[in-house]
Structures are given as C-alpha cells and as structure tokens.
Amino acid sequence: MQLKTRSETFIEEICDIPGGEGIKRCIQCGTCTASCPNADKMDHTPAELIAMARAGMRREVLSSNAMWYCLSCYLCTVRCPRGIKQTGLMHAFESLAMRDGVSYAGSFTPTMYRSFNHFACALGSMPEFGFMTWFYMLSNPLRAWKMIPIALELFRHGRLSIKARRLTPEGTKQLRAILEKAETLGGVT
Amino acid sequence: MRYYTYFPGCSASEGGAKAYNWSAKAVSRVLDVDLAELEDWNCCGSTPSGSVDELGAYCMATRNLALAEKRGLEMVTPCSACYVIFNRTNTYLNGYPPFKAKVNEALAAGNLAYRGTVKVRHLLDILTTDIGYDAIKSRVKKPLAGLKVAPYYGCQVVRPRFGFDDPEYPQSLDKLVLSLGAEPTNFPLKARCCGGSLVLSEEDVALDLIHRLLQSASSNGAECLITVCPLCQTNLDIYQSRVNKKFKTSYRLPVLFFTQLMGIAFGLEEDAIGLRNCIVPIEEVLAKYV
Ligand code: SF4
Ligand code: SF4
C-alpha cells in the first residue's frame, strides 16, 4: 500500500467536495482576485488561496481569514476562465475550518455564521430578532448597544417580530431526525 | 392562471422583509399567478449554515425540495439567496450520485426522498419571462411617467449562472421598470454586492460597499432604488443612515422591492404592499408622480 502525502490528501479532500474538483484546472491567471470586492481585506487573495491549497498547505488555508471576508457575490465564479467554483471553495474551506476548530479568530463572521446555523437548525426557521440579539451578545455586548437604534427603527416600521415562525410539531420532528442522521454521515464527502 | 409552489424564505415570511411577501402575493394575484406556499417548509439551508455544516445545510434545502416534489410544480422564491441555495443543491445532487445517495440517506430518517426534479426559479424570472412585460404593462393603472428608478439586481439573482439574465449586465429589471411607465436610470453597479450578511459581523466592510451603490445610483439621477432580495433591501434601506454618518453624505433614497413598485403602478392599496415598512419613506417621491 502506498502512503499518500499530506498534499495529495488535501487536494483529494477538496476534489471530493461537490463542485470542488475544478481546483486542479487553475492556471493562476488572477481573474478571481481582480474581481473580488474584498480581496484587499484578505491575508491571502482568492488566487493565492487556491495555489496554497494545491500546494497542500492545509493548515495555512484553513486558518486564513480570506474565506471569512467572502461575500458570496460569485463574481470570481462567473469570470474564472477555467470554470472553477471559487465561491463554493470558500464555503468548503469555512466548513472544514469549523470542523477542525481552526477558524480565524480576528473576525466576528465565524461566530455570526455559527449563531445563525444554531437557530436555523434548532427551529427550522430564522428568527431574526433572536438570532441578532444572540450573536451580538456572543460577539460583543457593546455592539449590541450600538444596534439598539436600528432595532427601534425596525420595530417602528413593523419589521421586527419578536415571535418566530415555527414549523408544525411533525415538521420539527422530521427535520430534527434528518439533521441528526446527517450528522452521523461525516460531511459532504 | 399559472400555478407554482411558493417558497417565501425566512426573511420575507416572518422577518424584516414581510413587505416583499405581501407585495409579491398582491401583484401575483393581479397577474393571475397562483402562489401556493409550500407547507411546513424550513429555512433554505442558507449561506451561513453551509459554511458551518455543509451536509446539514444541503439536507435542509433538500427537505424543502422533497416536499415540493410531491406537488410536482415549479417552485418560485422571491429571495435571491434561497434561489441560489436551491439551484446549487439541485445541481450537485443531480451531478454527483454518491452525494445524492448520502443526502437521501439522511432524508430517509424523516421518511422523505428526493428524486431531483423540482425546478426552482426566482420571482423576477417568473414575472418577466412567464408573464411578460406586455401583460405587466396592460395592468398598469398609474403609469409612473418620469420617475427615475435605479434597478438594483445585486449578486445572487444573476450569479452564478443559473438563469435567465446576464450575470454581469442584466436587463430584466430595467425592462420591467420601463413596462411600468417609469424610467430606469443608468446604474453601473447594478449587479455588485451590497455586503450581504457581513453587515452584521463586519459592518465597516459592508458600509463601504453600500456607500458605493448609493453613490452610483444617486449620481445617475435615481430617485429611488428597487431590489429583488430581502437582504439587499435591508442593507440599502436600514443602513443608509449609517452610511450617511460614516461618509458625511445625505442620501435619502427610498429602497423598494420591485413588487412594491409594481403594486404602486397597479394602483394597489398602500397597506397591501407594505409601503410603510420602508425606513426611508417613499411618499415624498411618489407625490410628484402618482
Ligand atoms: S480565475 Fe480561475 S484560473 Fe484564474 S486564478 Fe482564479 S481560480 Fe485560477
Ligand atoms: S464570491 Fe467571495 S471570493 Fe469570489 S469575488 Fe465575491 S467576495 Fe470574492
């Protein structure tokens, strides 16, 4: 049996993700980077991140801040001359970083995503008020304070529901059973 | 009458974008479009969830698709984010059989299965393609002649390429504005990002992007913007005052859902299309034209 090197395993891991296999076709033309509205905030540009992933730099890629600044605007994806789905790769890197517990700590985005997911899974629906309060308390209570004027404005215009939409009890049970099962299946690959 | 399964999404159903849901239903009624809400739907699976737990998020999306498959109709959503999530899910499920098997294994725990047959479309696509500009024009009671509208597409209604309009230089919303008798302004940034959900975690990054959009719309003479996505509307409307504060500007551009503008032109009641939900009020601008 031949042992796989680390680099092979990371690239294989990415290729196994639906939409991830294109990464092998990258020609480093830089179109994705030039298109990205947030490239200047990233410690590694989108094209760099792809080069690093191909070089097997798993830890460096997953602890990068780049994907947490991705806005999912899909400009890179529609412009890439090699049909690579970078936006999807960004999501995949985020999800792997979360699973490995190495996600970048300098931005509130991972916490925000986690709070969002927490509510979406638990209730099956997104209670915006509860989610935002929860997220601001977790990330920085001072910021919660700064959000009060916005919350009041929303409330005044009938746009803040305290009550969340709920699924029927059967629907809730069904969704929970599906998500519990999914958890045992070990990720998308 | 045309029949669809309707997926409003969290934000338009009970969240901050209720006016989108109301106005979508109200104008659909006028246009003989039957939107029957998917029963007991759950969150689409969402971009944030996909970044935390990819498989779980795909399973959430697929539960909805499996429920919709039982009805056998096309599914329409007014939310650009839900639209992308469902289309991506369909593409991957149908393109990767082992992945589909895995998702179906999870679904089986809830006595569901998905074959992969539900076509998911954006409300803008339905109204402009299936119904068409002429039919829309024929229902206009109050032509908005002279009103200068910046048509804002944002990202996910046109990107990635699931659809019905050009990913970088879309036209459908421009034509819709014309069919309502109003004037679409030139708007170079019409398909650029509003900051999305990063407005919550990285407010400065988002304010910068929102600022650029408002500047682009206003310098081209727009009196209001229309959007096709709950999050875009939220960012441009609610955060406008913060942009003004940060950049020492004084924008006061109302931001409507495109269905609200249609409702105004169709002569619908203000409350039926939720005009009062706009933070930057539209009344002043409308008084000049309607
Ligand atoms: S645009 Fe595509 S081919 Fe060019 S560097 Fe980016 S990923 Fe590689
Ligand atoms: S999808 Fe993400 S990585 Fe791609 S251009 Fe947009 S912000 Fe940049």
* Cα A87 to middle of ligand 2, angstroms: 6
Q: Is B101 on the interface with A (CB under 8 A)?
A: no
Contacts of B25 (CB under 8 A, 6+ apart): B35
Contacts of B271 (CB under 8 A, 6+ apart): none
Q: Chain B closest CA to A42's CA: distance in Å?
A: 12
- In terms of domains, do B148 and B274 share one? yes
Per cent of chain B over pLDDT 70 is 99
Per cent of chain A over pLDDT 70 is 87
CA atoms of A38 and B235, how far apart (whole Å): 17
According to the CATH classification, is domain A10-99 in 3.20.20.70?
Answer: no
Question: B113 contacts in A (CB within 8 Å)?
Answer: none
Atom of ligand 2 nearest to the CA of A46: 3
- In terms of domains, do B140 and B44 share one? no
Which strands make up the sheet holding B255-257, listed edge to edge?
B183-184, B148-151, B224-227, B255-257
Q: Give me the pLDDT at residue A127, please.
A: 65
Asked if residues A10 and A53 have their Cβ atoms less than 8 Å apart, the reply is yes
Give the residue numbers spanning the domain of B213.
Answer: 135-286
Residue list, ligand 1 pocket, CB within 6 Å: A 26-32, 47, 50, 80-82, 84, 86
Q: In residues, how long is chain B? A: 290
Q: Is B10 inside any structural domain?
A: yes
H/E run at residue B184: strand B183-184
Question: B47 contacts in A (CB within 8 Å)?
Answer: 72, 91
Which CATH number does the domain housing residue B27 bear? 1.20.1050.140
**pLDDT tens column, A109-145:** 877 777 767 777 777 776 676 667 767 667 777 777 7
Q: Chain A closest CA to B98's CA: distance in Å?
A: 9
Q: Give me the pLDDT at residue B46, please.
A: 77
- In terms of domains, do B111 and B196 share one? no
How many Å is the Cα radius of gyration of chain A? Answer: 19
Pairing of strands B148-151, B2-6: unpaired
DSSP string, A101-169: T---SSSSHHHHHHHHHHHHHHHSS--HHHHHHHHHHHH-HHHHHHHHHHHHHHHHTT---SSPP---H
* Cα B9 to middle of ligand 2, angstroms: 24
* CA separation, residue B179 to residues B22, B60, B254, B255 (Å): 21, 38, 20, 19
CA atoms of B42 and B26, how far apart (whole Å): 23
Average pLDDT over residues A167-187: 91
**pLDDT tens column, B250-265:** 999 999 999 999 999 9
Which strands make up the sheet holding B2-6, listed edge to edge?
B33-37, B2-6, B75-77, B120-122
Question: A188 and B102 in contact by Cβ < 8 A?
Answer: yes
- In terms of domains, do B151 and B281 share one? yes
Write the DSSP symbol of residue B272.
Answer: G
Asked if residues B235 and A150 have their Cβ atoms less than 8 Å apart, the reply is no
**Tokens at A111, concatenated:** 């916490």
* Cα A123 to middle of ligand 2, angstroms: 30
Q: Which of these three, B95, B123, B151, is where a domain ends? A: B123
CA atoms of A127 and A84, how far apart (whole Å): 34
Q: How many domains does chain B have?
A: 2
pLDDT band for position B246 (50/70/90)? Answer: very high
Point out the residue among A88, A157, A182 whose CB comes nearest to the CB of B276: A157
Q: Is B17 inside any structural domain?
A: yes
Distance of CA B80 to the CA centre of its chain: 5
Q: Is B188 on the interface with A (CB under 8 A)?
A: no
Residue list, ligand 2 pocket, CB within 6 Å: A 35-38, 46, 70-76, 86-87, 90
* Cα A40 to middle of ligand 2, angstroms: 11
- In terms of domains, do B83 and B166 share one? no
Domain ranges of chain A: 10-99, 109-184
- In terms of domains, do B86 and B185 share one? no
Per cent of chain B over pLDDT 90 is 88
Asked if residues A15 and A21 have their Cβ atoms less than 8 Å apart, the reply is yes
Q: Which of these three, B74, B102, B123, is where a domain ends? A: B123
Q: Which residue has the tokens 């305290």?
A: A162
H/E run at residue B224: strand B224-227
State the complex-level ipTM. Answer: 0.93
CA atoms of B98 and B102, how far apart (whole Å): 6
Question: B40 and A168 in contact by Cβ < 8 A?
Answer: yes
CA atoms of A50 and A42, how far apart (whole Å): 13
Q: Which of these three, B83, B102, B123, is where a domain ends? A: B123
- In terms of domains, do B164 and B263 share one? yes
* Environment class of B174 (CB within 10 Å of its CB; exposed 0-12, middle 13-18, buried 19+): buried
* CA separation, residue B125 to residues B49, B80, B244 (Å): 26, 11, 33
**Tokens at A117, concatenated:** 């997911």
Average pLDDT over residues A32-57: 96
* pLDDT at residue A7 is higher than 50: no
Question: DSSP alpha helices (H): ranges in B96-179?
Answer: 97-108, 123-125, 133-138, 172-179
Q: Is B169 on the interface with A (CB under 8 A)?
A: no
Question: A128 contacts in B (CB within 8 Å)?
Answer: 10-11, 15-16
pLDDT band for position A6 (50/70/90)? Answer: very low
Which CATH number does the domain housing residue B181 bear? 3.40.50.11810
DSSP string, B81-108: HHHHHHHHHHHHHHH-HHHHHHHHHHHH
- In terms of domains, do B92 and B15 share one? yes
Atom of ligand 1 nearest to the CA of A83: 2
- In terms of domains, do B34 and B154 share one? no
**pLDDT tens column, A89-102:** 999 999 889 888 88
- In terms of domains, do B97 and B149 share one? no
Instruction: Choose among A56, A44, A48, A60: nearest CA to A14.
Output: A56
- In terms of domains, do B95 and B197 share one? no
- In terms of domains, do B104 and B17 share one? yes
Q: Is B130 inside any structural domain?
A: no
* Cα B52 to middle of ligand 2, angstroms: 18
Find the closest chain A residue to B98 by CA distance: A189
> What's the whole-model pTM score?
0.93
Q: Is B196 inside any structural domain?
A: yes
Residue with the smallest CA separation from ligand 1 atom 6 is A32
CA atoms of B167 and A181, how far apart (whole Å): 37
Instruction: Choose among B65, B112, B107, B110: nearest CA to A172.
Output: B110
